[in-house]
Amino acid sequence: MVFVAGMRPPQSATTYQQGDTVTATYTFDVFSTLDGFANHDGDWGGYWGKQGPEFLAHRATAYRGPLRMVLGAKTYSSNAPFLAPGFDRGLFDEWITHMFASPVTVLSTRLTEPLDWPDTTIEPGDPVEVVTRLKAESDVPLRSHGSLTLNRALLSAGLVDTIEVTIFPVISGRTGVDRIFDGADDFDLELIQAQTFDGDTQVLTYRPTRHPPRV
């Protein structure tokens, strides 16, 4: 998926339990409408047109520290054109600049190195095995923006420590694309933090725990 954000307009895998032989935290960071869409095919623009200075400052802070990005092949490929030499980097919001400056692991069996994103590593193995290893070896937090298919699989495997959902104040019933949690398992969510920016954009951070089946 293409990030619905980031630029000012120029005008059956093994299941792992959280905490098992892993150290680095993994955050699934996703933008959403109130009705649960991660993207759109309408004329809303980036951030559905609802970005404000408080929210953008929050994003810049969240991405300013050391971290490693983890992305699926589709998300990486959709955004690779923004890294082309002729692209005006001055159009990026600050958090996007920080993200593109971070090392990234791309989970893919079809992409090959070198890639346009500096400090990129291609991992063709099973995503659950790769991220389990990354969590054990990384000395910086792991963070993934978008990459819905990948993160649903990692969530089901118990590898997602926190889900950070930014809810923009829109309903996109006609133009919404990519429901975030379609096909995911059932989870109980512990609310860790709730923040409101610019009066109407909410950032909700949850700790997921698999919901036990009724016996």
Is 214 contained in some domain? no
Is 16 contained in some domain? no
Domain count, the chain: 1
Domain with 147 in it: 26-164
Q: Is the pLDDT of residue 39 over 60?
A: yes
d(CA 66, CA 99): 10
Q: What is the pLDDT of residue 211?
A: 95
Tokens read off for 84: 């082309």
Is 147 contained in some domain? yes
Q: What is the pLDDT of residue 4?
A: 45
Is 37 contained in some domain? yes
Q: What is the pLDDT of residue 81?
A: 74
Is 197 contained in some domain? no
Q: Is the pLDDT of residue 85 over 90?
A: no
Overall average pLDDT of the 35-53 stretch: 96
Overall average pLDDT of the 65-93 stretch: 84
Q: DSSP secondary structure string, the chain?
A: ---S-SB-----PPP--TTSS--S-EEEEEEE-TTSEEEESSS--GGGG---HHHHHHHHHHTTS--EEEEEHHHHHHHGGGGSTTS-GGGB-HHHHHHHTS-EEEE-SS--S--SSTTEEEE-S-HHHHHHHHHHH-SS-EEEES-HHHHHHHHHTT---EEEEEE-S---TTTEEEETTTT---EEEEEEEEEEETTTEEEEEEEEEEPPPP-
Q: Work out the mean pLDDT of the chain and round it to a whole number.
A: 87
**CB of 169 closer than 8 Å to CB of 50:** yes
Q: Among residues of the chain, what percentage have pLDDT more than 90?
A: 70
Model confidence band, residue 114 (pLDDT cutoffs 50, 70, 90): low
Is 13 contained in some domain? no
Could you report the per-residue pLDDT of 118-159, keeping only the tens digit for each?
788 889 989 999 999 999 999 999 999 999 999 999 999 999
Is 105 contained in some domain? yes
Is 159 contained in some domain? yes
Which are the contacts of 213, defined by CB distance < 8 A and separation ≥ 6?
A: none
Kindly report the CATH number assigned to the domain that includes residue 77: 3.40.430.10
